[in-house]
């Protein structure tokens, strides 16, 4: 389980059945990526509501994910592992659009309440 939050609010993310082994947040703070200690699956979540947006399979054999990183401008995420490998995945563009639209709606709601 992960708890992410900003400015007094938080979201609980039930990321994996086992412990979290690696974690990354994109530069906008809208996406959270995590890998379990098993290292076979990387999940991408919305930081706003904790919804799982995409699941990426690194492989079927157990591996220790040493790092996860979002590309700052492209829809890409990379991970490295103790298997001397680098995996590069494309983040579905529709996931970014859904997060962007949600963030815009949230900003508009905040402006109305002020």
Report pTM. Answer: 0.69
Domains annotated for the chain, with CATH where assigned, are 2-113 (2.130.10.10)
pLDDT of 57 above 70: yes
Mean pLDDT over residues 15-40, rounded? 84
Residues 87-114 pLDDT 10s: 899 988 655 555 555 555 555 555 665 5
**Residue 19 to residues 15, 35, 37, 60, 79, Cα–Cα distance (Å):** 9, 9, 6, 17, 17
More confident residue, 84 or 103: 84
pLDDT mean across residues, the chain: 77
Q: How far apart are CA 32 and CA 77, in angstroms?
A: 11
In percent, how much of the chain has pLDDT > 70? Answer: 68
Residues 35-53 pLDDT 10s: 888 888 889 988 888 888 9
């Amino acid at each position: 389980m992960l708890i992410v939050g900003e400015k007094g609010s938080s979201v609980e993310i039930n990321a994996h059945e086992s412990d979290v082994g690696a974690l990354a947040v994109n530069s906008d703070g809208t996406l959270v990526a995590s890998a379990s200690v098993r290292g076979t699956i990387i999940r991408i979540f919305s930081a706003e509501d904790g919804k799982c947006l995409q699941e990426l399979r690194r492989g079927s054999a157990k591996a220790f994910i040493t790092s996860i990183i979002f590309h700052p401008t492209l829809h890409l995420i990379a991970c490295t592992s103790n298997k001397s490998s680098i995996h590069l995945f494309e983040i579905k563009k529709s996931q970014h659009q859904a997060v962007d639209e949600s963030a815009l709606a949230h900003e508009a709601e905040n402006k109305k309440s002020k």
